[in-house]
Structure 1
């Protein structure tokens, strides 16, 4: 696994141009907290978006095709297996 990018805020909080240059196709994008609201918009960085299941459920977010729900145990496993982790 390459870099795990963890986003906690809506995409409008970040500079898209900067992110496009920093996230590679091998990287994993994980949405937690309010970032779950923008799961479709984050698809520009990765075809498979991971969402923390509990955060998505708390915000009544529907999963779209290509979205992957993960639980806290899987979240911990992803961070341990990632070469690098960046929390935005």
Structure 2
């Protein structure tokens, strides 16, 4: 399955409350968590089946690597964005 848009989040879901994230993501979109968004990975998991998290951010924050997300190193997330039609950093 090809990814239409990679949505990159760096803060907890509550920070984006007014955006109504669930209405902005389409079926073929992916969610990539960076920074403090990793703490709130459970909340983000409801928005997409294509879930990614930066490995370095997860490790730095002590987030379990068995959280259902695909962990990405720097090269992998760059490839993820390059393979998508577009990306949005929120």
In the alignment, is residue 21 of structure 1 matched against residue 28 of structure 2?
no
Segments of 5+ residues of structure 2 without an aligned counterpart are none
TM-score (ref. length: structure 2): 0.89
Segments of 5+ residues of structure 1 without an aligned counterpart are none
CA 1:75/1:5 → structure 2, altered by over 3 Å: closer, same or farther?
A: same
Q: Aligned-residue CA RMSD in angstroms?
A: 1.5
Query: Tell me, what secondary structure is at the counterpart of 2:20?
Result: helix
**Worse-superposed segment, 27-36 or 73-82:** 73-82
After superposition, the C-alpha distances for 1:44-80 in whole angstroms (9 at most, x for unaligned) are: 1013421100000000101345211010000111111
Distance in structure 2 (CA, Å) of the matches to 1:65 and 1:6? 17
Match of 2:46 among 39, 44, 62: 44
In the alignment, is residue 63 of structure 1 matched against residue 65 of structure 2?
yes
TM-score (ref. length: structure 1): 0.91
Count of paired positions: 88
CA 1:44/1:62 → structure 2, altered by over 3 Å: closer, same or farther?
A: same
Report if aligned partners of 2:30, 2:49 keep a CA contact under 8 Å in 1. no
